[in-house]
Structure 1
Amino acid sequence: MAAFLCSAWLLLLLLSARGLHAADADSDFRYIPHEDLLASSDSFDEPGVSAYSVIQFDLARNQLLVGAKDSLFRLSLRGLSALERARWEAPVNKTILCQDKGQREQDCHNFVKVLQINGKKVFTCGTHAYSPLCSWREADNLNKVLETVSGTARCPYSPQANSTALMTRDGRFFAATTTDFSGADPVISRSMGGLETLRTSQYNSKWLSEPDFVGAFENDEFVYFLFRESAVEYINCGKIIYSRIARVCKNDTSGQLMLKDNWTTFLKARLNCSVPGQYPFYYNEIQGFSYDEPQGLVYATFTTPENSIAGSAICAFNMSAISTAFSGAYKHQAHPGASWERHSPTHSSHGKCPTPGGGLPRGLVDSSKYQLMDEAVKPFTLHPLHVSQPLERLTKIAITLVDTKLHKSVIVMFVATSEGKIKKLGVLPRTMNTCLLEVWEPFSPKVRGTAKIMDLKYLKETDSLYVASSEGVLRVPAQRCARFPSRQACLNAHDPHCGWNELKLSCTTAPNKDPLALHWEQSAPRCPVLTDPVDGSWGSWSAWSSCAYKQGSGDQCQCRIRQCNNPAPQHGGKDCGAGPNIEVTNCTQHGGWTAWSQWSACSQTCGVAVKSRRRTCGNPAPAFGGRVCVGQDHNEMYCSANPPCPAKQGPPPRDGHWSEWSSWTGCSAADCGTGLRTRRRKCDSPSPQNGGQECPGCAEQSELCSASCAEVRKFSTWTPWLAISANSSSGPMKERRYRFQCRAPATDPNQVKLTQFKEEERTCIGNTCSKPGSPSVVSQGQWGCWSDWSPCSVSCGLGVRIRSRPCLGSSCDGPTTMDESCEASVSCHCECKIIFLLNLQYFF
């Protein structure tokens, strides 16, 4: 505990001694507000998408590849214009299974963690709702999936897991990640590229002990991995985290029996980033790194433990120091519980890459025995390049080298903080001291504090820094020389990118990228001068926001402000000068009526007419939520002075007349009996025109009709014999019987007529009867023809007419007269009457 308190106080004293305090946004010209930064930057974000976690440059196609939550993007390098979006979501069944296993819904998506380019193809992996999946895609068409492969040992299960991956120049894929759902099995693996798959020893804390991977890079025949892990060599003294660098040979061939499918060249060493002294102060936890391949330097950010006083430092390591550490002695523990000791095996080939045709690897016992180097890798400077201000944690880092007037390859570092800021730092060439050049604010106030920078990379071709965050992607130019209005301010900034251009009389970058141009001036490198007079310059306008128009009125305006802070005038420097610091627009505007227009002409020159006038709601027109005008916009009145219109002259009216009656239709009776028939006429000879009267009477006439029936004749059976005379009780007796013939014009029994009858006569004596002769036929009387109809019994309207017939015989069946209704030729009133035929009555 005492050692920890001493270390904490030493940290605070060291930070104070260096005099690096927080940039005051109101007075320090090095602070770049979000609005000013955004004015010269490009940004990209897609609605509904978050966690833009990994970016990769594709210079061959002049594009930026971005991996995010459930999506892949192709963006232009300049402008960050969207070229393509490929949706890559986990299926519903995977998402449900992920939640059933106890994971949060927001973690059960596909978070892209690996994005590597290999020629014309892209290899990418995502967590895929805790079931990692990888795919090969075309670099210029991300929606075209060429192949899908398992993501196990290539991509972590959890989106919170720290992992790294590398596709080497010869197409071999190396990954450092976890291989199971719980994250308990960390691995450094190799796959693809035509060689067998290799990995670190499983569940062996001497190889990997709860690591958090930071990055990887290749150099010559090795691939290097940077990570932090629990220090197994410190386990006897408690628990602590150390930063490590591990390496493996690209062409490692593993063992046949011992170390089968495992690395035989795996080694790791501690990275030492500390403030020297009798009791060095260590920054043990690596957070980010950047590899400068031409210079062979590894730059990394280190912090104190998460549960201690926050502090950060930047250290740089050259490849020679790294190689020296891996060529030294090993740190070895003979058995569990033993102390870790230095050990130097003689003639050991452990850690050396196999040569082509060299056969099986030798020294497999040493490979399984030794993984940790005894000596730590020391930085190439005695002190860290940079120690952060108090209570600050640095995370990601990117570096570039800038040629200046006096020096080549001045180191400029861009470092992200856990608070979401980005610092631009310059390293003085002679002393290797670090100067704070600028502090950028990449996030807007509404997300500041919650937004997180997830990837940070510099691209020399565009001289820009690319920032991937939880909110989107940002491209920020590495310099803002134009913000210094005067020569003195330009030179006092001591930004390696900037100098005073005597031809343009402005602060610019090196003309034509030539820092030796005679008309471009730079002063000797040093940290920015903060005590000389600094003339003020206006900052960028803020975003438009609502503001009250009048107190209590509820009316609103859109306002924006700017401040004289880019930079702010300091130490007697000039103010920003003329110009407003606030702009107001789009204020609530209620509508008002214009004056009435002149009365229009009357709608006609005679008779009843109207005239009108109008006004519009445009004095002023309602705008920005203002009320519309109340009242009518149109007014009318009668033209009372118009004279009457003259009567209209037209053709004389013509009354309508009937056409001739059509022929009678057929009788409606089905077979025989009584029915109806009709006939029609039209009022078109001529039709009524010009107000003429319609035709009088009806257009349709109906009357009864009958259909004749076929006559049916039938004979009755003989009647019983009837006695007609008797002489005595024993003498002969005459008997007679009859048979009748009936006929009718239909099957209706009411219309049956008796036409004639037959009779037979016989003489009976006792029980013997005989017919004396042929029967005689007595004919019934026949009707004669009907007479003509008598005249109608009335002179108008409906009446009766009669006809009669004679009986030609002794007697006839039926009536001698028949009557029916009739209508006189003169009508008594205008109503149309239908002629009804009366049923004939037969009288017997």
Structure 2
Amino acid sequence: MLTAKEFLLVSRLILHLNSQSPEPPFSRTANYLESPEAQGNGGLFFREEGFWNYTTMLLREDLNMLILGARDAIFALDLDDITAKKAMVNWSVTEQQQKDCVSKGKDATNECKNYIRILHKNKDGSMYVCGTKAFNPSCDNLSYANGTLNLQKKQEEGKGKCPFDPFQRYSSEMVDGALYTATATNFRGLEPVMMRSTDEIIRTESTSAWLNEPNFVYMAHIPEGESNPEGDDDKIYLFFTETAVEYDSYTKVDVSRVARVCKGDLGGQRTLQKKWTSFLKARLDCPVLNINLPLLVQDMFHMCQGDWTTCVFYGVFTLQLDSAQYSAVCAYKIEDIKTVFSESKFKAPFTVETSFVKWAMYSTELPDPRPGACIDNHARKKGFTKTLDLPDKTLQFIKDKPLLDQAVSAIGKRALLVKSGTAFTRIVVAIATALNGRRHHVMLIGTKSGSVMKAVNYEGEMVIMEEIQVFEPSEPIKILRLSNTTLYVGSEVGVAQLSISECGRYHACLDCVLARDPYCGWDLNTGRCSTIDSTHRTSTMIQSLSAGDASQCPPIGGSKSDNISFFHGNTVKLPCQPYSNLAKVHWQLNGQPIRPSDTFQILSDSLMIVNASAEADGHYTCSSVEGKYKAQHVAYDLKMWSGPGTTAFLSDVKEKENTLVAMVVILSLILAMLVIWNLYKGHLPLPCCHSRVKDTTNTCGDERFSANQAQQQKVASSTVNMNSNNNYANIQRCSTETDRLSTTVGSSGQISLRYIDDESEI
């Protein structure tokens, strides 16, 4: 049996041996040759502490500023560097407005705030701004002067201009000083309207035939009246989704729509007074194979490369089912949209079996002028110079039947891009001029996961050049704005600024050419990937967008091998990044292709060797393969570590580990025996008892305490008997030859245990 002193010595010896155990030279998972830090996208980020919802933007290129609307504030940021805040103005709700909002059942923290939703430039250079104002929308004018943003504090009613609900979709456009909006006009959000706010307000009819539970997406002004041979008017196009009235279904089916009104519409004289006489709508078709339900438009963007006849609308679409993430991009020519609105037949409601209403094609002769048409040369010849002159027969028809029978087809009658596993949210399109002078539309697509995809369509072939993670996953992108080659990305948490013509990320000729980025080309003189502009259009530059031909690139020699040693049982990771997004990696071991197995796991950017053994020794090569091009990236020589003394070292480590295990077992047994022996002798009380297990034969009945001893007993009693209310507990302290520990009370009142050095066995 060990004495207490020997027990302490053994414990210290075990701890000392454990602290001297050697550290293995490699961890169990080896990650070789990874770059020390990830390459960022070189973007800039802005966020003001305490503010959220950076989802409304106005590009003021005349002021070189980005006007940013958030919750309770408006910011003016430098257009070249959004981290430079030039000015800001707070526009929050009053305490009474918040109380009124809460009393109507809304949430004080999230809903009863002022979310900036409308930002447009006025003719005089000031800005028109509207906010939800705690479910009481208001508008004001905003100016920037002398480095300061100022609200004029002449607030006006925002009903019909700005949504009540900050989380409800809406759209707006400022055209020649008139504000066009599509939103809900009541607190509950159940009265949708498309409205023009002027001295004489013009709006839609409040019937489901016009707008049936819509979700507004995008609005655009197309100046069709400029140099139009038919003398037609400018158009305002509205893209939205709504519950379809034309489908026979037991459940509601939503569809994508495009509607349009004429800028010069003044309403009717008797029928449709102060209502649109030119409101027409048609279904927007974005066909995807094996998808039966119509896809729903989430955002649109239009661009024109000349007059209005060249305009193209690009839209992102998603499935109706929330359980599946499936997205597409479709494009539409303005000419095709105009043809549908001017030539398509109408749909009309017919009563079936006295109660059920079915919408079907209207085949009867139409009134003249054509219902929904703008005032053009044909109408003027008949004496109709404004919409107030139109006959009631034409107006009554459009009041009851604004839906067209023909759908607007996408370019090529198919989607440009279809992608599964990703939910698209926003889109903008840039124009890039290639080395050969040809112009390409570069699509920049925001996703629900917080990334931006960059894609181009080359003669029917869609190429996704890159995908940049801008925000943390699950932080959706809410807005995209483009100025030249700079992209501004907004979300709930902040705003990012990215360059879409950054070519420095391509480090090799194959990488640069096979990426097929219209902004970039490989310069043979400088040996780098450069942005194609007026200074870099030389004969020494290489670019191949449609074919992806990299045959002009200089030949690439074999990579120098890196020697790597590993321990038996290691998991080894060998990195290999492909040259472009379209390339695949090809691994070989000693000249033979590596096939996936339990040992070899081939990832998109690396090779994992699990539980490596001596059989993993050899020469590894990784090549990037895209089409007919194959280029070796990296090479590795792997060998299991077998240096001098390795066997003896491993044996010594194993022997010490076994020794430690044995000593831990022995120590556990000794501790168990000590506990049992002390319980038997009464040195340790049982949990259920407050007295000693076994009384000793001699007791101490004398109560010979000095004043100092009494004070010591007071401290001891307060420690031992926590339930005693006496100042001095009557404690019997029995001293026998079996006691091996004495109690010492220090000056501080703390009790310590002192070891009694004798040779008695415990």
Specify if TM > 0.5.
Answer: yes
- Counterpart CA distance in 2 for 1:97 and 1:474 is 35
Paired position in structure 1 for 2:498: 476
Paired position in structure 2 for 1:245: 258
Instruction: Give the CA deviation at 1:45.
Output: 0.9
Instruction: Give the CA deviation at 1:297.
Output: 0.3
* 1:5-58 deviation digits (Å, cap 9, x = unpaired): xxxxxxxxxxxxxxxxxxxxx99x9xx9996345x2122111111100111111
1:485 aligns with 2:496: no
Q: 1:97 to 1:526 in 2, by over 3 A?
A: farther
Paired position in structure 2 for 1:287: 298
Contact 2:52 2:494 in 1 (8 A): yes
Contact 2:163 2:184 in 1 (8 A): yes
- Counterpart CA distance in 2 for 1:534 and 1:270 is 56
Secondary structure class of the residue paired with 1:275: coil
1:118 aligns with 2:122: yes
* 1:364-406 deviation digits (Å, cap 9, x = unpaired): 1122122101000001123210001x23211101111211123
* 1:324-366 deviation digits (Å, cap 9, x = unpaired): 1112111110346232111154334322223694452332112
Paired position in structure 1 for 2:423: 393
1:219 aligns with 2:222: yes
Instruction: Give the CA deviation at 1:89.
Output: 0.2
1:376 aligns with 2:387: no
- Counterpart CA distance in 2 for 1:420 and 1:91 is 33
Contact 1:435 1:528 in 2 (8 A): no
Larger radius of gyration: 1
Paired position in structure 2 for 1:75: 77
Contact 2:522 2:528 in 1 (8 A): yes
Match of 1:342 among 352, 361, 381: 361
Paired position in structure 1 for 2:441: 411
1:267 aligns with 2:297: no
Q: Which runs of 5+ in 1 are unaligned?
A: 1-25, 537-562, 578-844
Contact 1:406 1:524 in 2 (8 A): no
Match of 1:307 among 316, 322, 340: 322
Paired position in structure 1 for 2:150: 143
* 1:281-334 deviation digits (Å, cap 9, x = unpaired): 454210111111223100001111133532111000001110111121111103
Paired position in structure 2 for 1:107: 111
Contact 1:189 1:199 in 2 (8 A): yes
- Counterpart CA distance in 1 for 2:212 and 2:39 is 45
- Counterpart CA distance in 2 for 1:154 and 1:331 is 30
Q: How does 1:11-90 map to 2 (within 5 A)?
A: 36-38=39-41, 40-80=42-82, 81-90=84-93
- Counterpart CA distance in 2 for 1:167 and 1:33 is 50
Paired position in structure 1 for 2:454: 424
- Counterpart CA distance in 1 for 2:55 and 2:322 is 25
- Counterpart CA distance in 1 for 2:490 and 2:578 is 26
Contact 1:243 1:272 in 2 (8 A): yes
Instruction: Give the CA deviation at 1:526.
Output: 4.5
Q: 1:60 to 1:243 in 2, by over 3 A?
A: same
Q: How does 1:410-809 map to 2 (within 5 A)?
A: 410-428=440-458, 430=459, 432-443=460-471, 448-460=472-484, 463-512=485-534, 516-526=537-547, 571=623, 573-574=632-633
Q: 1:97 to 1:520 in 2, by over 3 A?
A: same
1:189 aligns with 2:198: no
- Counterpart CA distance in 1 for 2:443 and 2:36 is 19
Secondary structure class of the residue paired with 1:257: coil
* 1:744-798 deviation digits (Å, cap 9, x = unpaired): xxxxxxxxxxxxxxxxxxxxxxxxxxxxxxxxxxxxxxxxxxxxxxxxxxxxxxx
* 1:497-547 deviation digits (Å, cap 9, x = unpaired): 110112322101114366x42222212425799xx99999xxxxxxxxxxx
- Counterpart CA distance in 2 for 1:325 and 1:533 is 55
Q: 1:33 to 1:283 in 2, by over 3 A?
A: farther
Contact 2:185 2:192 in 1 (8 A): yes
- Counterpart CA distance in 2 for 1:337 and 1:407 is 59
Instruction: Give the CA deviation at 1:146.
Output: 6.1
Residue identity matched to 2:121 = I
Secondary structure class of the residue paired with 1:367: helix
Q: 1:334 to 1:317 in 2, by over 3 A?
A: same
- Counterpart CA distance in 2 for 1:527 and 1:398 is 25
Instruction: Give the CA deviation at 1:163.
Output: 0.3
Q: 1:410 to 1:257 in 2, by over 3 A?
A: same
- Counterpart CA distance in 2 for 1:465 and 1:339 is 46
Q: 1:230 to 1:223 in 2, by over 3 A?
A: same
Q: Which runs of 5+ in 2 are unaligned?
A: 1-30, 224-233, 377-383, 560-574, 580-604, 607-621, 624-630, 637-762
> Percent of counterpart pairs with the same letter?
28
- Counterpart CA distance in 2 for 1:378 and 1:37 is 40
Q: 1:566 to 1:380 in 2, by over 3 A?
A: closer
Q: 1:219 to 1:517 in 2, by over 3 A?
A: same
- Counterpart CA distance in 2 for 1:352 and 1:311 is 37
- Counterpart CA distance in 2 for 1:339 and 1:35 is 59
Q: 1:128 to 1:406 in 2, by over 3 A?
A: same
- Counterpart CA distance in 2 for 1:497 and 1:183 is 45
Contact 2:448 2:475 in 1 (8 A): no
Residue identity matched to 1:334 = F
- Counterpart CA distance in 2 for 1:395 and 1:300 is 10
Contact 1:209 1:230 in 2 (8 A): yes
Contact 1:33 1:440 in 2 (8 A): no
Instruction: Give the CA deviation at 1:131.
Output: 0.4
Residue identity matched to 1:477 = S
Q: 1:171 to 1:208 in 2, by over 3 A?
A: same
- Counterpart CA distance in 2 for 1:58 and 1:162 is 24
Q: 1:312 to 1:524 in 2, by over 3 A?
A: closer
Contact 2:447 2:476 in 1 (8 A): no
Paired position in structure 2 for 1:167: 174
Instruction: Give the CA deviation at 1:256.
Output: 2.8
Contact 1:163 1:214 in 2 (8 A): yes
Residue identity matched to 1:46 = E
Match of 2:162 among 148, 155, 158: 155
Contact 1:283 1:303 in 2 (8 A): no
Q: 1:242 to 1:214 in 2, by over 3 A?
A: same
Contact 2:456 2:463 in 1 (8 A): yes
Secondary structure class of the residue paired with 2:220: strand
Greater shift, 484-493 or 247-256, is seen at 484-493
* 1:107-151 deviation digits (Å, cap 9, x = unpaired): 110011111112311111111011001111114443242632111
| Bigger helix fraction | 2
Paired position in structure 2 for 1:176: 182
Contact 1:291 1:298 in 2 (8 A): yes
- Counterpart CA distance in 2 for 1:441 and 1:34 is 16
Q: Give the aligned CA root-mean-square deviation in angstroms.
A: 2.9
Q: How many aligned positions are there?
A: 504
Q: 1:511 to 1:217 in 2, by over 3 A?
A: closer
Residue identity matched to 1:435 = V
Paired position in structure 1 for 2:586: none
Q: 1:266 to 1:233 in 2, by over 3 A?
A: same
Secondary structure class of the residue paired with 1:57: strand
